Amino acid sequence: MKIYCTRPGCHRPENHFAELDDRPTLLTVQQKYCITCGMPLILDGRYLPDKLLGKGGFGAAFLAHDRRTPTQRPCVVKLFQPEGTLNPQQQAIAQSLFDREAIVLEKLGSQHPQIPDLLAYFALQTPGWPQPQPEKQYFYIVQEFIDGQNLEQELQQKGKFSETEVLQLLQELLPVLQFIHENDTIHRDIKPSNIMRSRSQTVSQSGRLYLLDFGAVKLVTGAVSGKSTTIYSSGFAPPEQMAGRSVFPSTDLYALAVTCIVLLTGKLPKDLFDAYRNQWQWRSHTTVSDSLAAVLDRMLLPTPSDRFATATQVLTALSAPPTPPKLPISGSPSPPVSPSPPPLPPTTISKRPFSTNELLTGAGFIGFEGCLLLISLEMIIPNPAVGTLCWVLILGSLIWVQYQRWLTTRHLVIIATLSIGLAMSITPLPWSVVLLSSASAGLATILATAIFRLIYSIISHFI
Protein backbone atom coordinates (compact mmCIF):
# COMPACT_ATOMS: atom_id res chain seq x y z
CA MET A 1 0.00 0.00 0.00
CA LYS A 2 1.14 3.53 -0.80
CA ILE A 3 0.80 6.30 1.81
CA TYR A 4 1.60 9.90 0.87
CA CYS A 5 3.49 12.10 3.32
CA THR A 6 1.68 15.38 4.05
CA ARG A 7 4.68 17.30 5.41
CA PRO A 8 5.36 20.38 3.22
CA GLY A 9 8.80 20.18 1.62
CA CYS A 10 9.25 16.42 1.91
CA HIS A 11 11.10 15.57 -1.31
CA ARG A 12 10.14 11.87 -1.31
CA PRO A 13 6.57 11.84 -0.06
CA GLU A 14 5.53 8.44 -1.48
CA ASN A 15 5.94 5.57 0.99
CA HIS A 16 5.18 1.93 0.22
CA PHE A 17 4.29 -0.69 2.85
CA ALA A 18 3.57 -4.15 1.44
CA GLU A 19 2.37 -5.47 4.81
CA LEU A 20 -0.55 -3.01 4.83
CA ASP A 21 -2.10 -4.80 1.86
CA ASP A 22 -3.18 -7.34 4.46
CA ARG A 23 -6.46 -6.00 5.84
CA PRO A 24 -6.10 -7.29 9.45
CA THR A 25 -2.67 -5.68 9.61
CA LEU A 26 -4.01 -2.43 8.15
CA LEU A 27 -6.72 -2.29 10.84
CA THR A 28 -4.43 -3.02 13.77
CA VAL A 29 -1.20 -1.17 12.97
CA GLN A 30 -0.72 1.80 15.30
CA GLN A 31 1.29 4.15 13.09
CA LYS A 32 3.62 4.38 10.11
CA TYR A 33 6.24 7.07 9.52
CA CYS A 34 7.65 8.69 6.39
CA ILE A 35 10.93 7.02 5.47
CA THR A 36 12.35 10.38 4.34
CA CYS A 37 11.30 12.89 7.01
CA GLY A 38 9.75 10.87 9.86
CA MET A 39 6.30 12.47 9.53
CA PRO A 40 3.41 10.39 10.97
CA LEU A 41 1.48 9.01 8.00
CA ILE A 42 -1.76 7.62 9.48
CA LEU A 43 -3.59 10.84 10.37
CA ASP A 44 -5.80 10.92 13.45
CA GLY A 45 -5.32 7.15 13.66
CA ARG A 46 -7.52 6.45 10.62
CA TYR A 47 -6.90 8.54 7.47
CA LEU A 48 -4.41 7.26 4.87
CA PRO A 49 -3.37 9.96 2.32
CA ASP A 50 -3.00 8.44 -1.11
CA LYS A 51 -2.06 11.29 -3.45
CA LEU A 52 -1.74 15.08 -3.69
CA LEU A 53 -4.81 16.76 -5.22
CA GLY A 54 -3.48 20.31 -5.20
CA LYS A 55 -1.75 22.95 -3.12
CA GLY A 56 -1.84 26.71 -2.69
CA GLY A 57 -0.72 29.53 -0.45
CA PHE A 58 -2.48 28.19 2.66
CA GLY A 59 -1.79 24.47 2.43
CA ALA A 60 -2.55 21.39 0.39
CA ALA A 61 -5.32 18.88 -0.29
CA PHE A 62 -4.89 15.11 -0.48
CA LEU A 63 -7.06 12.22 -1.55
CA ALA A 64 -7.20 9.80 1.38
CA HIS A 65 -9.05 6.71 2.59
CA ASP A 66 -10.63 6.00 5.95
CA ARG A 67 -9.36 2.67 7.24
CA ARG A 68 -12.12 2.59 9.90
CA THR A 69 -14.88 2.12 7.33
CA PRO A 70 -15.72 -1.20 5.66
CA THR A 71 -15.01 0.06 2.14
CA GLN A 72 -12.14 2.40 3.11
CA ARG A 73 -14.31 5.35 2.11
CA PRO A 74 -12.45 8.01 0.09
CA CYS A 75 -12.22 11.49 1.57
CA VAL A 76 -10.31 14.76 1.16
CA VAL A 77 -7.70 15.73 3.75
CA LYS A 78 -6.83 19.45 3.74
CA LEU A 79 -3.65 20.58 5.48
CA PHE A 80 -3.31 24.11 6.80
CA GLN A 81 0.27 25.29 6.32
CA PRO A 82 0.76 28.84 4.96
CA GLU A 83 3.71 29.44 2.66
CA GLY A 84 6.52 31.73 3.80
CA THR A 85 7.05 33.32 7.18
CA LEU A 86 4.00 34.94 8.79
CA ASN A 87 4.01 37.34 11.69
CA PRO A 88 1.73 36.50 14.64
CA GLN A 89 -1.12 38.66 13.32
CA GLN A 90 -0.98 37.12 9.83
CA GLN A 91 -0.77 33.65 11.36
CA ALA A 92 -3.86 34.34 13.45
CA ILE A 93 -5.81 35.56 10.40
CA ALA A 94 -4.79 32.56 8.34
CA GLN A 95 -5.65 30.20 11.21
CA SER A 96 -9.07 31.83 11.61
CA LEU A 97 -9.80 31.32 7.90
CA PHE A 98 -9.00 27.64 8.24
CA ASP A 99 -11.08 27.35 11.40
CA ARG A 100 -14.01 28.99 9.63
CA GLU A 101 -13.97 26.36 6.92
CA ALA A 102 -14.37 23.65 9.56
CA ILE A 103 -17.13 25.62 11.30
CA VAL A 104 -19.03 26.26 8.07
CA LEU A 105 -18.72 22.70 6.81
CA GLU A 106 -19.96 21.36 10.15
CA LYS A 107 -22.82 23.87 10.21
CA LEU A 108 -23.92 23.74 6.58
CA GLY A 109 -22.59 20.52 5.06
CA SER A 110 -24.95 18.27 6.98
CA GLN A 111 -27.93 20.48 6.09
CA HIS A 112 -27.45 20.86 2.34
CA PRO A 113 -26.74 18.08 -0.20
CA GLN A 114 -24.56 20.34 -2.41
CA ILE A 115 -22.05 21.26 0.30
CA PRO A 116 -19.45 18.63 1.37
CA ASP A 117 -19.83 17.15 4.86
CA LEU A 118 -17.18 17.68 7.53
CA LEU A 119 -15.75 14.34 8.71
CA ALA A 120 -12.96 15.42 11.09
CA TYR A 121 -10.91 18.40 12.29
CA PHE A 122 -7.72 17.87 14.28
CA ALA A 123 -4.14 19.02 14.97
CA LEU A 124 -0.94 17.00 14.70
CA GLN A 125 2.24 17.75 16.68
CA THR A 126 5.34 16.39 14.98
CA PRO A 127 9.14 16.67 15.34
CA GLY A 128 10.76 19.32 13.16
CA TRP A 129 12.51 18.40 9.93
CA PRO A 130 15.26 18.62 8.95
CA GLN A 131 16.94 18.44 12.33
CA PRO A 132 17.44 20.43 14.50
CA GLN A 133 14.25 22.27 13.53
CA PRO A 134 11.76 22.80 16.41
CA GLU A 135 8.52 20.86 16.69
CA LYS A 136 5.70 21.94 14.41
CA GLN A 137 1.94 21.75 14.69
CA TYR A 138 -0.19 21.02 11.62
CA PHE A 139 -3.94 21.41 11.33
CA TYR A 140 -6.15 19.18 9.20
CA ILE A 141 -9.72 19.14 7.92
CA VAL A 142 -11.22 15.94 6.55
CA GLN A 143 -14.28 16.35 4.35
CA GLU A 144 -16.49 14.37 2.02
CA PHE A 145 -14.88 13.46 -1.31
CA ILE A 146 -16.85 14.48 -4.40
CA ASP A 147 -15.92 12.24 -7.30
CA GLY A 148 -16.09 14.45 -10.34
CA GLN A 149 -14.58 17.33 -12.26
CA ASN A 150 -14.57 21.04 -11.47
CA LEU A 151 -15.91 23.49 -14.03
CA GLU A 152 -12.47 24.91 -14.83
CA GLN A 153 -11.37 21.43 -15.90
CA GLU A 154 -14.66 20.93 -17.73
CA LEU A 155 -14.18 24.18 -19.66
CA GLN A 156 -10.67 23.17 -20.70
CA GLN A 157 -11.91 19.75 -21.79
CA LYS A 158 -15.07 20.57 -23.75
CA GLY A 159 -14.85 24.29 -24.51
CA LYS A 160 -17.41 27.07 -24.09
CA PHE A 161 -20.67 26.48 -22.24
CA SER A 162 -23.99 27.06 -23.99
CA GLU A 163 -26.66 29.39 -22.64
CA THR A 164 -28.72 26.37 -21.61
CA GLU A 165 -25.80 24.97 -19.61
CA VAL A 166 -25.19 28.30 -17.86
CA LEU A 167 -28.89 28.65 -17.04
CA GLN A 168 -28.80 25.16 -15.53
CA LEU A 169 -25.73 26.17 -13.52
CA LEU A 170 -27.56 29.23 -12.14
CA GLN A 171 -30.69 27.22 -11.35
CA GLU A 172 -28.60 24.73 -9.36
CA LEU A 173 -26.20 27.07 -7.53
CA LEU A 174 -28.39 30.06 -6.70
CA PRO A 175 -30.45 28.04 -4.17
CA VAL A 176 -27.17 26.93 -2.56
CA LEU A 177 -26.04 30.56 -2.25
CA GLN A 178 -29.42 31.57 -0.86
CA PHE A 179 -29.07 28.83 1.76
CA ILE A 180 -25.59 29.88 2.90
CA HIS A 181 -26.55 33.57 2.91
CA GLU A 182 -29.61 32.83 5.04
CA ASN A 183 -27.21 31.13 7.46
CA ASP A 184 -25.20 34.33 7.86
CA THR A 185 -22.30 33.21 5.68
CA ILE A 186 -20.67 34.65 2.57
CA HIS A 187 -18.49 32.36 0.47
CA ARG A 188 -16.22 35.06 -1.08
CA ASP A 189 -14.33 32.77 -3.47
CA ILE A 190 -16.75 31.56 -6.12
CA LYS A 191 -15.02 30.60 -9.36
CA PRO A 192 -15.10 27.65 -11.83
CA SER A 193 -12.45 25.66 -9.95
CA ASN A 194 -14.55 25.79 -6.76
CA ILE A 195 -17.64 24.32 -8.41
CA MET A 196 -17.53 20.55 -8.79
CA ARG A 197 -19.77 18.42 -10.98
CA SER A 198 -20.10 14.88 -9.65
CA ARG A 199 -19.85 12.00 -12.04
CA SER A 200 -23.33 11.13 -13.30
CA GLN A 201 -24.72 7.68 -12.69
CA THR A 202 -26.58 7.80 -16.01
CA VAL A 203 -25.52 8.79 -19.51
CA SER A 204 -28.59 10.98 -20.09
CA GLN A 205 -28.15 13.23 -17.05
CA SER A 206 -25.34 15.51 -15.89
CA GLY A 207 -24.03 15.21 -12.35
CA ARG A 208 -25.00 17.38 -9.40
CA LEU A 209 -23.07 20.59 -8.81
CA TYR A 210 -21.31 21.13 -5.48
CA LEU A 211 -19.90 24.36 -4.02
CA LEU A 212 -16.41 23.73 -2.63
CA ASP A 213 -13.57 25.47 -0.79
CA PHE A 214 -15.12 27.34 2.09
CA GLY A 215 -11.68 28.41 3.33
CA ALA A 216 -12.37 32.06 2.47
CA VAL A 217 -15.89 32.20 3.88
CA LYS A 218 -16.98 35.12 6.00
CA LEU A 219 -19.30 34.77 8.97
CA VAL A 220 -21.36 37.94 9.28
CA THR A 221 -23.05 37.60 12.66
CA GLY A 222 -22.06 37.88 16.28
CA ALA A 223 -18.78 39.51 17.09
CA VAL A 224 -17.28 38.85 13.67
CA SER A 225 -16.70 42.08 11.76
CA GLY A 226 -18.24 42.57 8.33
CA LYS A 227 -14.93 43.85 7.00
CA SER A 228 -13.32 41.73 4.34
CA THR A 229 -9.78 40.42 4.44
CA THR A 230 -7.64 40.48 1.32
CA ILE A 231 -8.37 36.84 0.45
CA TYR A 232 -9.95 36.53 -2.97
CA SER A 233 -9.38 35.24 -6.50
CA SER A 234 -8.19 37.98 -8.84
CA GLY A 235 -10.69 38.75 -11.58
CA PHE A 236 -13.66 37.18 -9.83
CA ALA A 237 -13.86 39.45 -6.78
CA PRO A 238 -15.91 42.70 -6.93
CA PRO A 239 -14.48 46.13 -6.07
CA GLU A 240 -15.63 46.16 -2.43
CA GLN A 241 -13.85 42.87 -1.72
CA MET A 242 -10.60 43.87 -3.46
CA ALA A 243 -10.58 47.10 -1.44
CA GLY A 244 -10.94 45.15 1.83
CA ARG A 245 -14.32 46.70 2.62
CA SER A 246 -17.55 45.05 3.81
CA VAL A 247 -18.85 42.09 1.82
CA PHE A 248 -22.48 41.22 1.11
CA PRO A 249 -24.57 38.47 -0.50
CA SER A 250 -24.28 40.48 -3.73
CA THR A 251 -20.49 39.99 -3.46
CA ASP A 252 -21.03 36.28 -4.15
CA LEU A 253 -23.53 37.09 -6.92
CA TYR A 254 -20.88 39.22 -8.67
CA ALA A 255 -18.36 36.35 -8.56
CA LEU A 256 -20.99 33.91 -9.82
CA ALA A 257 -21.73 36.21 -12.78
CA VAL A 258 -18.00 36.43 -13.62
CA THR A 259 -17.92 32.63 -13.48
CA CYS A 260 -20.83 32.49 -15.95
CA ILE A 261 -19.28 34.85 -18.51
CA VAL A 262 -15.97 32.99 -18.27
CA LEU A 263 -17.77 29.73 -19.03
CA LEU A 264 -19.80 31.33 -21.85
CA THR A 265 -16.80 32.94 -23.56
CA GLY A 266 -13.96 30.61 -22.66
CA LYS A 267 -11.85 33.66 -21.78
CA LEU A 268 -10.13 34.79 -18.59
CA PRO A 269 -11.70 37.64 -16.58
CA LYS A 270 -8.81 39.98 -17.45
CA ASP A 271 -9.64 39.55 -21.15
CA LEU A 272 -13.29 40.51 -20.59
CA PHE A 273 -12.88 43.57 -18.35
CA ASP A 274 -12.17 46.97 -19.91
CA ALA A 275 -10.07 48.75 -17.29
CA TYR A 276 -10.16 52.04 -19.23
CA ARG A 277 -13.97 52.20 -19.16
CA ASN A 278 -14.21 50.29 -15.87
CA GLN A 279 -16.81 47.91 -17.24
CA TRP A 280 -17.24 44.36 -18.48
CA GLN A 281 -17.14 43.85 -22.26
CA TRP A 282 -18.20 40.24 -22.69
CA ARG A 283 -21.28 40.19 -24.94
CA SER A 284 -19.34 40.37 -28.21
CA HIS A 285 -17.58 37.09 -27.33
CA THR A 286 -20.72 34.96 -27.10
CA THR A 287 -24.37 34.81 -28.15
CA VAL A 288 -27.01 34.74 -25.44
CA SER A 289 -30.55 36.01 -25.04
CA ASP A 290 -31.14 39.60 -23.97
CA SER A 291 -32.89 38.38 -20.81
CA LEU A 292 -29.89 36.37 -19.56
CA ALA A 293 -27.46 39.12 -20.59
CA ALA A 294 -29.46 41.73 -18.65
CA VAL A 295 -29.45 39.58 -15.51
CA LEU A 296 -25.68 38.95 -15.71
CA ASP A 297 -24.97 42.64 -16.41
CA ARG A 298 -26.86 43.65 -13.29
CA MET A 299 -25.00 41.07 -11.19
CA LEU A 300 -21.75 42.59 -12.50
CA LEU A 301 -22.44 46.19 -11.51
CA PRO A 302 -19.58 47.73 -9.50
CA THR A 303 -21.77 49.08 -6.68
CA PRO A 304 -23.17 46.34 -4.37
CA SER A 305 -26.53 48.09 -3.83
CA ASP A 306 -27.11 48.26 -7.61
CA ARG A 307 -26.92 44.47 -7.98
CA PHE A 308 -29.55 41.95 -6.98
CA ALA A 309 -29.72 41.80 -3.20
CA THR A 310 -30.38 38.05 -2.93
CA ALA A 311 -29.96 34.89 -4.96
CA THR A 312 -33.74 34.47 -4.92
CA GLN A 313 -34.11 37.78 -6.76
CA VAL A 314 -31.82 36.48 -9.50
CA LEU A 315 -33.88 33.29 -9.82
CA THR A 316 -37.06 35.38 -10.09
CA ALA A 317 -35.51 37.56 -12.81
CA LEU A 318 -34.39 34.50 -14.76
CA SER A 319 -37.87 32.96 -14.66
CA ALA A 320 -39.74 36.18 -15.53
CA PRO A 321 -41.64 35.77 -18.85
CA PRO A 322 -40.88 38.27 -21.63
CA THR A 323 -43.20 41.29 -21.78
CA PRO A 324 -45.98 40.51 -24.32
CA PRO A 325 -46.65 43.07 -27.07
CA LYS A 326 -49.61 45.41 -26.60
CA LEU A 327 -52.66 44.37 -28.63
CA PRO A 328 -54.83 46.97 -30.41
CA ILE A 329 -58.19 47.84 -28.85
CA SER A 330 -61.08 45.86 -30.36
CA GLY A 331 -62.80 47.75 -33.17
CA SER A 332 -59.94 50.11 -33.81
CA PRO A 333 -57.80 49.77 -36.90
CA SER A 334 -54.52 48.03 -36.34
CA PRO A 335 -51.53 50.30 -36.70
CA PRO A 336 -49.24 49.54 -39.58
CA VAL A 337 -46.47 47.16 -38.65
CA SER A 338 -43.07 48.60 -39.37
CA PRO A 339 -40.08 46.38 -39.79
CA SER A 340 -38.10 45.88 -36.59
CA PRO A 341 -34.91 47.89 -36.43
CA PRO A 342 -31.71 45.90 -36.43
CA PRO A 343 -30.49 45.00 -32.94
CA LEU A 344 -27.88 47.18 -31.35
CA PRO A 345 -24.38 45.81 -30.88
CA PRO A 346 -24.03 43.95 -27.59
CA THR A 347 -21.84 46.62 -26.01
CA THR A 348 -24.43 49.39 -26.55
CA ILE A 349 -27.57 47.67 -25.29
CA SER A 350 -27.38 49.25 -21.86
CA LYS A 351 -25.49 52.10 -20.23
CA ARG A 352 -23.68 51.29 -17.02
CA PRO A 353 -25.12 53.24 -14.08
CA PHE A 354 -22.87 55.66 -12.24
CA SER A 355 -21.47 54.33 -8.99
CA THR A 356 -21.74 56.34 -5.78
CA ASN A 357 -18.06 57.31 -6.00
CA GLU A 358 -18.48 58.52 -9.57
CA LEU A 359 -21.54 60.60 -8.65
CA LEU A 360 -19.89 62.23 -5.65
CA THR A 361 -16.66 62.93 -7.54
CA GLY A 362 -18.60 64.53 -10.37
CA ALA A 363 -20.70 66.58 -7.95
CA GLY A 364 -17.60 67.86 -6.16
CA PHE A 365 -16.03 68.87 -9.48
CA ILE A 366 -19.15 70.73 -10.60
CA GLY A 367 -19.41 72.64 -7.29
CA PHE A 368 -15.71 73.53 -7.32
CA GLU A 369 -15.72 74.53 -10.99
CA GLY A 370 -19.00 76.43 -10.69
CA CYS A 371 -17.60 78.69 -7.97
CA LEU A 372 -14.41 79.40 -9.97
CA LEU A 373 -16.45 80.23 -13.08
CA LEU A 374 -18.71 82.53 -11.10
CA ILE A 375 -15.70 84.45 -9.73
CA SER A 376 -14.09 84.68 -13.18
CA LEU A 377 -17.24 85.68 -15.11
CA GLU A 378 -18.03 88.47 -12.67
CA MET A 379 -14.75 90.11 -13.64
CA ILE A 380 -14.97 89.38 -17.39
CA ILE A 381 -18.67 90.16 -18.03
CA PRO A 382 -20.02 93.20 -16.18
CA ASN A 383 -23.66 92.49 -17.17
CA PRO A 384 -25.07 90.15 -14.44
CA ALA A 385 -27.75 88.63 -16.71
CA VAL A 386 -25.31 87.78 -19.50
CA GLY A 387 -22.79 86.50 -16.98
CA THR A 388 -25.39 84.24 -15.36
CA LEU A 389 -26.46 82.89 -18.78
CA CYS A 390 -22.84 82.11 -19.70
CA TRP A 391 -22.32 80.46 -16.32
CA VAL A 392 -25.37 78.21 -16.81
CA LEU A 393 -24.34 77.23 -20.36
CA ILE A 394 -20.74 76.40 -19.42
CA LEU A 395 -21.72 74.47 -16.29
CA GLY A 396 -24.46 72.61 -18.17
CA SER A 397 -21.95 71.62 -20.83
CA LEU A 398 -19.59 70.25 -18.18
CA ILE A 399 -22.41 68.21 -16.64
CA TRP A 400 -23.33 66.84 -20.09
CA VAL A 401 -19.81 65.70 -21.00
CA GLN A 402 -19.48 64.05 -17.58
CA TYR A 403 -22.77 62.22 -18.16
CA GLN A 404 -21.43 60.95 -21.48
CA ARG A 405 -18.22 59.81 -19.71
CA TRP A 406 -16.08 61.82 -22.13
CA LEU A 407 -13.94 63.17 -19.30
CA THR A 408 -11.51 61.08 -17.29
CA THR A 409 -10.15 62.01 -13.86
CA ARG A 410 -7.05 63.42 -15.56
CA HIS A 411 -9.23 65.71 -17.68
CA LEU A 412 -11.06 66.97 -14.58
CA VAL A 413 -7.77 67.80 -12.87
CA ILE A 414 -6.52 69.69 -15.95
CA ILE A 415 -9.75 71.71 -16.26
CA ALA A 416 -9.77 72.58 -12.55
CA THR A 417 -6.10 73.65 -12.65
CA LEU A 418 -6.69 75.91 -15.66
CA SER A 419 -9.77 77.42 -14.01
CA ILE A 420 -7.82 78.15 -10.83
CA GLY A 421 -5.12 79.89 -12.85
CA LEU A 422 -7.68 81.94 -14.76
CA ALA A 423 -9.57 83.02 -11.64
CA MET A 424 -6.43 84.03 -9.78
CA SER A 425 -5.09 86.03 -12.72
CA ILE A 426 -8.16 88.22 -13.19
CA THR A 427 -9.68 88.60 -9.72
CA PRO A 428 -8.39 90.96 -7.02
CA LEU A 429 -9.42 88.48 -4.32
CA PRO A 430 -6.63 86.72 -2.38
CA TRP A 431 -5.81 83.25 -3.71
CA SER A 432 -6.69 81.71 -0.33
CA VAL A 433 -10.22 83.15 -0.55
CA VAL A 434 -10.65 81.82 -4.10
CA LEU A 435 -9.52 78.29 -3.18
CA LEU A 436 -11.44 78.17 0.11
CA SER A 437 -14.66 79.37 -1.56
CA SER A 438 -14.35 76.87 -4.41
CA ALA A 439 -13.52 73.97 -2.06
CA SER A 440 -16.49 74.87 0.17
CA ALA A 441 -18.77 74.92 -2.87
CA GLY A 442 -17.47 71.50 -3.93
CA LEU A 443 -18.04 70.01 -0.47
CA ALA A 444 -21.54 71.51 -0.30
CA THR A 445 -22.41 69.96 -3.68
CA ILE A 446 -21.09 66.56 -2.54
CA LEU A 447 -23.15 66.76 0.65
CA ALA A 448 -26.32 67.74 -1.22
CA THR A 449 -25.82 64.92 -3.76
CA ALA A 450 -25.21 62.36 -1.00
CA ILE A 451 -28.37 63.43 0.86
CA PHE A 452 -30.43 63.32 -2.33
CA ARG A 453 -29.10 59.84 -3.20
CA LEU A 454 -29.87 58.60 0.32
CA ILE A 455 -33.45 59.94 0.18
CA TYR A 456 -33.89 58.46 -3.29
CA SER A 457 -32.64 55.04 -2.12
CA ILE A 458 -34.99 55.06 0.88
CA ILE A 459 -38.01 56.03 -1.22
CA SER A 460 -37.10 53.45 -3.92
CA HIS A 461 -36.93 50.74 -1.25
CA PHE A 462 -40.57 51.28 -0.25
CA ILE A 463 -42.06 51.88 -3.72
List the end-to-end C-alpha distance of the chain, in Å, as a whole number: 67
Neighbour order of strands in the sheet with 148-150: 148-150, 195-198, 209-211
**Buried/exposed code over 304-322 (b: 16+ C-beta within 10 A; e: otherwise):** bebbbebbbbbbeeeeeee
Asked if residue 169 and residue 272 are part of one domain, the reply reads yes
Domain limits for position 389: 356-461
- Residue 456 to residues 357, 447, 450, 453: CA-CA distances in angstroms? 16, 14, 10, 5
CA distance 2 to 8: 18
Residue 330 maps to a domain: no
Give the single-character DSSP code of 285. G
- By the 10 Å C-beta count (0-12 exposed, 13-18 middle, 19+ buried), 227 is classed as exposed
Domain boundary pick from 145, 177, 207: 145
Helices 249-265 + 290-299 axis angle, to 10: 130
Asked if residue 94 and residue 183 are part of one domain, the reply reads no
CA distance 256 to 189: 9
78 belongs to an annotated ligand binding site: yes
Asked if residue 400 and residue 456 are part of one domain, the reply reads yes
Q: Residue 77: beta bridge partners?
A: 62, 142
Residue 313 maps to a domain: yes
Angular region, 75: left φ>0, alpha ψ -120 to 50, beta rest = beta
Asked if residue 194 and residue 46 are part of one domain, the reply reads no
Of 188, 251, 179, which Cα lies nearest the Cα of 216? 188
Asked if residue 151 and residue 140 are part of one domain, the reply reads no
Per-residue pLDDT at 426: 83
Q: Strand pairing of 74-80 and 59-66?
A: antiparallel
Cα 237 to chain centroid distance, Å, stands at 3
φ/ψ (deg, to 5) at 150: -75, 165
- Residue 310 to residues 181, 305, 313, 367: CA-CA distances in angstroms? 8, 11, 5, 37
Give the single-character DSSP code of 134. P
Domain boundary pick from 145, 170, 201: 145
- Residue 53 to residues 89, 98, 136, 308, 423: CA-CA distances in angstroms? 29, 18, 23, 35, 67
Asked if residue 191 and residue 161 are part of one domain, the reply reads yes
Asked if residue 305 and residue 423 are part of one domain, the reply reads no
Asked if residue 273 and residue 133 are part of one domain, the reply reads no
Residue 31 maps to a domain: yes
H helix and E strand count, the chain: 13, 14
Asked if residue 319 and residue 177 are part of one domain, the reply reads yes
Per-residue pLDDT at 323: 54
- Domain of 313, CATH number, reads 1.10.510.10
Residue 306 maps to a domain: yes
Residue 328 maps to a domain: no
- Residue 111 to residues 117, 176, 218, 400: CA-CA distances in angstroms? 9, 11, 18, 53
Instruction: Encode the chain (463 residues) as per-residue pLDDT tens digits.
Output: 999 999 998 999 999 999 999 999 999 999 999 999 999 999 999 999 999 998 876 689 999 999 999 999 999 999 987 656 667 777 777 777 778 778 888 889 889 999 999 999 998 989 889 888 888 888 899 999 999 999 999 999 999 999 999 999 999 999 999 999 999 889 989 999 999 999 865 444 568 999 998 765 655 543 333 444 445 678 999 999 998 889 999 999 999 999 999 999 999 999 999 988 899 999 999 999 999 999 999 999 999 999 999 999 999 999 987 655 445 454 545 444 444 434 433 333 334 456 666 778 888 888 888 888 888 888 888 888 888 888 888 888 888 877 776 767 777 788 888 888 888 888 888 888 888 888 898 899 889 888 887 787 677 555 5
Asked if residue 157 and residue 124 are part of one domain, the reply reads no
Report, as residue numbers or ranges, the catalytic residues: 189
Residue 228 maps to a domain: no
Cβ atoms of 117 and 105 closer than 8 Å: yes
Domain boundary pick from 145, 160, 185: 145
- Residue 255 to residues 185, 247, 261: CA-CA distances in angstroms? 15, 12, 10
Residue 166 maps to a domain: yes
Asked if residue 408 and residue 423 are part of one domain, the reply reads yes
> Is the bond preceding 130 in cis, omega lying within 30 degrees of 0?
yes
Give the up-direction half-sphere exposure of residue 7: CA atoms within 13 A in the CB hemisphere. 27
Residue 65 maps to a domain: yes
Per-residue pLDDT at 13: 97
Cβ atoms of 274 and 308 closer than 8 Å: no
Task: Please give the helix or strand (H or E) that residue 125 lies within, else none.
Answer: strand 118-126
Number of domains composing the chain? 3
Largest CA distance in the chain: 105
Asked if residue 170 and residue 83 are part of one domain, the reply reads no
